[in-house]
Amino acid sequence: MEEKGASFEKAMEELEEAHGKDFLFEDGRVLGSMCTKPMDGSVDVHCKFIESNLGNPGLYPGTKQLEERILSMVSSLLHGNDFHGQVQAGGTESNIVAAWVARNVSGKNEVVYCENAHFSMLKACDVLRMKPVEVGLNENFEMDVGEVEDKITDDTAIVVASAGSTELGAIDPIEQLSDICGDKTFLHVDASFGGFVIPFLEELGYPTRPFDFQLDGVSSLVLDGHKMGMSTIPSSVFLLRKEEDLRSIAVESPYLTSLHSTSLLGTRSSAGVAALYFAIRTLGREGYREIVKKCMENTMYLASEVKRIGLGVPIEPVMNICGILVDDPAKVREELDGKNWKVSMSRHPDCLRVVVMPHVTRQVIDSFVRDLEDVSGG
């Protein structure tokens, strides 16, 4: 740190230089991210609430009220009734908290999750000193239910399922998992991506399956507002069926305005709460349905174009994520990167992965497919 601070102009020049090196969603070249450009107005709302810290909720009763309204609105979207929880920093925090709650409530120590589960489950096991128990996939790249049954033990604290897997958007057989877990084992659903997609797929007539609180065995669920919720980063909604479960992680916080803290983070960036409230209130079901409709139409178009150039897809897209089978995914990805396409890869199976977010238009897809055909020999 220098003794004398730089001028406003100099600091802004350096910031503009750094920002200019970043890839922006509006450029249309980011195809591997589950985030997108926040909807118009949400950034202004975010900035308005930039001082809010729901780690000390007594100072921010208005922001706290917005959080409670979000929990109520999202509960109803997911077949619940004013369930309990928090707006958190992301799916990783929520997945860790779910395992933390399950461990404290049950006194057990094993986490059963699928090999294509989000890497945050490994973080959860490491931080909480819980035992990871990995199960395999079925032919549709979903959690193998039979293997789950085999691997649940008397020390299983939690089973973690995906509703919109990070790799291919697959939805695990959560209805069957709900029956298996029942009231014996905590069942957490990671719907970080799918939570703002699957309810509207159903309304649009796409084939889907139950994944939320309409299933009695589901104990908790997370969905991210900064993904298909169209809000700013961070804004992830964590919901629990039972309020007393959240109290299992409470610690005393005597110097704050609340007697106990029931969050993983102390300071909670809460501008995302206001931004997500704005998104949900202004979009409504109709707005989200239209966003999902366009994304799915573009996803199916991408899949058809991939096939047209002689390549394949591992499964027909379940939601707005499309896997692309190529001979050497790492090499093709590197060559696409050289053309400024930011795609990602899946491990199960080994393939390219494109997330068709709202910033991925037909024109973007046409341009991408031309370059894909060129570098893959399709």
CB 313 within 8 A of CB 324: yes
Q: What is the pTM of this model?
A: 0.95
Distance of CA 366 to CAs 100, 326, 369, Å? 45, 18, 5
| Helix, strand, coil tally for the chain in percent (to 5) | 45, 15, 40
State whether the Cα torsion 205-206-208-210 is positive or negative: negative
* Closest by CA position to 53, among listed 230, 278, 253: 253
pLDDT at 378: 59
Question: Residue 113 carries which DSSP code?
Answer: E
CB 275 within 8 A of CB 46: yes
Burial class (CB in 10 A: 0-12, 13-18, 19+), 322: buried
Each residue's pLDDT, cut to its tens digit, for the chain (378 residues) gives 999 999 999 999 999 999 999 999 999 999 999 999 999 999 999 999 999 999 999 999 999 999 999 999 999 999 998 899 999 999 999 999 999 999 999 999 999 999 999 999 999 999 999 999 999 999 999 999 999 999 999 999 999 999 999 999 999 999 999 999 998 999 999 999 999 999 999 899 999 999 999 999 999 999 999 999 999 999 999 999 998 999 999 888 887 787 788 889 988 889 999 999 999 999 999 999 999 999 999 999 999 999 999 999 999 999 999 999 999 999 999 999 999 999 999 999 999 999 999 999 999 999 999 999 999 975
Give Cα 155 to chain centroid, integer Å. 28
Question: Residue 86 carries which DSSP code?
Answer: E
pLDDT at 183: 87
Question: Residue 194 carries which DSSP code?
Answer: G
pLDDT at 256: 77
* Closest by CA position to 195, among listed 222, 230, 160: 222
Distance of CA 190 to CAs 24, 116, 148, 198, 238, Å? 27, 12, 16, 13, 10
Residue ranges of alpha helices (H) inside the chain are: 8-21, 42-48, 61-77, 91-106, 120-128, 145-151, 174-181, 198-204, 243-247, 271-308, 329-338, 362-376
d(C-alpha 303, C-alpha 260), whole Å:
50
State whether the Cα torsion 158-101-218-299 is positive or negative: negative
Per-domain residue ranges of the chain:
9-38+285-376, 42-281
Put the strands of the sheet holding 321-324 in their side by side order.
321-324, 350-355, 344-347
* Phi-psi region at 252: left, alpha or beta (left = phi > 0; alpha = psi -120 to 50): beta
Superfamily of domain 9-38+285-376: Aspartate Aminotransferase, domain 1 (3.90.1150.10)
Burial class (CB in 10 A: 0-12, 13-18, 19+), 327: exposed
d(C-alpha 362, C-alpha 368), whole Å:
10
Distance of CA 136 to CAs 32, 112, 185, 319, Å? 24, 11, 19, 21
Biggest distance spanned by C-alpha atoms of the chain:
65
d(C-alpha 228, C-alpha 320), whole Å:
10
d(C-alpha 307, C-alpha 38), whole Å:
31
CB 209 within 8 A of CB 174: yes
Dig out the tokens for 165 from the structure: 């897997």
d(C-alpha 83, C-alpha 248), whole Å:
16
Helix or strand or coil: residue 72? helix
Spelled out in words, what is the top-level CATH class assigned to the domain 42-281?
alpha beta
